[in-house]
Structure 1
Amino acid sequence: MSRLFEQNRIAIVWDFDKTLIPRYMQVPLFERYQIDEAAFWQEVSVGSAALEAAGQRVNHDTFYLSVLLRYVRERKMSGLDNALLRELGSTLEFFPGVVEFFAASKAWVAGVPAYQQFDIQLEHYIVSTGLTEMIRGSVLAPHIDGIWGCEFLESAAPDGQAEIAEVIYAIDNTTKTRAIFEINKGVNKHHEVNVNSTIAEDERRVPMRNMIYVADGPSDIPAFSVVRKGGGRTYAVYNAASQDGRSFEQADDLRANQRVDSFGPADYCARSHTERWLKLHIGKIADAIVHGKQEILRETTRGIPQHFVEPKRSAS
């Protein structure tokens, strides 16, 4: 009986802000509308605290979306639509080597003959509390196999121009784990598969052991935990250019508390510490897949009758 999936896919699942880019992705949006970044986030913090004080439950990871929509309604961000978000996404600046690593890592896996034999491929996924359309507009988009982020539905503004008006999908730091299970079960590739369906571990498209989760901080602990528990690998990055050292300390704490397997600077250039670690473990996962496939082949062919040639007997 054939398996549902060959389990020959490797997935690196990435956080976005402070992992692949040094700043929050909303910065170009604030600059476009001349919004003070610190003041915006302060308003988000104060607003969510006020709602909680009034007895309301607030999702702190995604409350900023409500503030963005209010800014649009109040004309502080008039004309903001999904197309503009994609345009602003094209201005995002990445940590050194990010784009090159995404492309080169896929090409490297695809070019190893032993991996080619079993059609082993590397996939990159983004799971972010940020804005999906900005990621889609970035230079990294062509190298990404799937994005989980926050998305808006548009409607006509008073002047007839389309603007973002409603949140239609949101990811927070806890529901990132759902995205991981969707990748694990193949929901993103086969929509007939439901994330809540019971699927045996050896039938899932990307086993947890074939995953690497990369992020920068304690907010990703739920995702780190799910991947590690399933036998996957986890890695934290820090901004080496950070002046106060908190980014490094966060990553060190994650390692000390056994949330991640290792950590390093957010430098993905060839032969950097982080690039070497990721490539090493991509290779280890791929080698394990090859070994498993070869074992299946040996088991399948074991016991199959072979041609037997009788030795010639000398004349008596």
Structure 2
Amino acid sequence: MATELFTRNIISCIWDFDKTLIPGYMQAPLFRRYGVDEAVFWHEVNTLAERYRQRGYNVSGESVYLNHLLTYVRAGVMEGLDNRTLRECGREIVFYPGLPGFFDELRAFVRSRPEYAKHEITLEHYVVSTGIAEMVRGSAIAPVVDGIWGCEFIENPLPPGFLQQPEFAIEDKMEISQVGSIIDNTIKTRALFEINKGTNKNPAIDVNAQIKPEDRRIPFQNMIYIADGPSDVPCFSVVKSNGGRTYGVYHPDRPDEFAQNDRLRQSGRIDHYGPADYTPGSATTRWLLLHVQAMCDRIVADREAAVAQRVARPPRHLTAKPEGRKAPRPPEQQSFL
């Protein structure tokens, strides 16, 4: 397939959130605010799928926690929980060392090279999480990312017959009561294709539409997916199998997480792994910088090769040898007589 003259020049780093950008789960500040024992909540969540199965219900083990949060709201344990409160709790999220500054440092690296600037190469960051989108939006990482995928809640859903009712009474009590959207570990791959095709930048492009590879906004080979473990295998597989790079991170003090990442590397799920340390000079920052640079260099090479192949050399003037004039003999054959 011929190289495109205008090679797509956007690189994207796509980040998981929990245990990738932060040491634990983002909901911790929410539980502290309402005095909920975090360990008890997650233990309940981990048993829900089986408990409901015994009662004849099939539920998703990955997203059942959303309904359990709503159960806490309805029971009065988290009375008054709304999206504003979720954003406020997001401000209390503590990130791994080096964040959020490292996101801008990666962008600055791409901007700092004249050869990259010449080809207008840019880098974008995205968060794709099974957590709560409003909490990510309220966190310190939000100003330095280009898009956020996460689970959403609805406050005060519209009642039956709302199409015939022109006005609604203003509700003094805003409280989440329904799940608006779910992102689980499989649906996360949809977000990858939205980034790939540009659906997130142009809503007119349907993620299920057939789009030629050369017409997609960010090719998979320009993507790096960073996450913490086996739950991200679907995304690892999509990115890696399509020519992108995959990187696993682990808590520096958790040998079990280190071993988990090593197994992912041995099974070919990830290209490499390192500690969740985003400070200058760490193994993780060095690897990410190295591969962002490699992607930039490839884009430059592809664009310049395309120009060389497709742009003809301009015509040049030819210098004719004067007629009747002999070429001069070599110095040793010339005579001065």
TM over 0.5: yes
Match of 1:262 among 245, 259, 272: 272
Matched, 1:181 2:182: no
Q: Percent identity?
A: 49
Q: Work out whether 1:74 is the aligned partner of 2:75.
A: yes
- Tell me what 2:247 maps to: 235
Q: Distance in 2 between matches of 1:253 and 1:104?
A: 30
Deviation at 1:83, TM superposition (A): 0.9
CA distance, structure 2, for counterparts of residue 255 and residue 274 of structure 1: 15
**Counterparts of 2:190 and 2:114 in 1: how far apart (Å)?**
34
Match of 1:279 in 2: 289
Q: 5+ unaligned residues in a row in structure 2: which ranges? A: 158-170, 326-337
What's the offset of the Cα at 1:91? 0.8
**2:184 maps to what in 1?**
172
Q: Deviations over 1:187-226 (max 9, x none)?
A: 0011110111111111111101000000001000010000
Query: Corresponding residue for 2:317?
Result: 308
Alpha-carbon distance, 1:310 to partner: 2.4
Q: In the TM superposition, what is the alpha-carbon distance from 1:6 to its structure 2 partner?
A: 4.9
Task: Decide which of 230, 237, 241 is 1:225's aligned counterpart.
Answer: 237
Any conservation in 2 of the 1:236–1:260 contact (CA below 8 Å)?
Answer: yes
| TM-score, normalised via structure 2 length | 0.88
Name stretches of at least 5 consecutive residues in structure 1 with no aligned partner: none
Task: Note if contact 1:4-1:203 (Cα within 8 Å) is conserved in structure 2.
Answer: no
Check if 1:249 corresponds to 2:250. Answer: no
Is structure 2 residue 226 aligned with structure 1 residue 211? no
Q: How far apart are residue 272 of structure 1 and its match? A: 0.5
- In structure 2, the partner of 1:142 is 143
Does the 8 Å contact 2:249/2:276 carry over to 1? yes
| Structure having the higher Rg | 2
Q: Normalising by structure 1, report the TM-score.
A: 0.94
Contact persistence 2:7–2:303 (CA under 8 A): no
Corresponding residue of 2:134: 133
| Residue of structure 1 equivalent to 2:164 | none
Distance 2:277 2:5 in 1: 37
Q: Is the 1:5–1:205 contact (alpha carbons within 8 Å) kept by the matching residues of 2? A: no
1:123-159 deviations in Å (ceiling 9; x for gaps): 1000100010111111111110111100111118xx8
State the shift of 1:289 in Å. Answer: 0.6
SS for the counterpart of 1:152 is strand
Summarize the alignment of residues 278-297 of structure 1 with structure 2, pairs less than 5 Å apart. Answer: 278-297=288-307
2-structure distance, mates of 1:4, 1:117 = 15
**Counterpart of 1:116?**
117
Query: Partners in 1 of 2:202 and 2:151 — Cα distance?
Result: 21
Q: Which residue of 1 aligns with 2:167?
A: none
Paired residues of 1:4 and 1:204 also in contact (CA < 8 A): no
Q: For 2:307, give the aligned amino acid.
A: L
**Contact 1:235-1:260 at 8 Å conserved across structures:** yes
Please list, as runs of the form range in 1=range in 2, the aligned pairs for 1:94-109 lying within 5 A after superposition.
Answer: 94-109=95-110
Residue 64 (structure 1) aligned with residue 65 (structure 2): yes
CA shift for structure 1 position 62: 0.8
The AA in structure 1 aligned to 2:179 is V
Corresponding residue SS for 2:201 = coil
Look up the match of 2:332: none
- Say which SS state the counterpart of residue 192 (structure 1) adopts: coil
| Aligned-partner Cα distance in 2 for 1:305–1:215 | 50
Shift of 1:294: 0.4
Residue 20 of structure 1 aligns with which residue?
21
What's the Cα RMSD here?
A: 1.8
Q: How many residues align?
A: 310
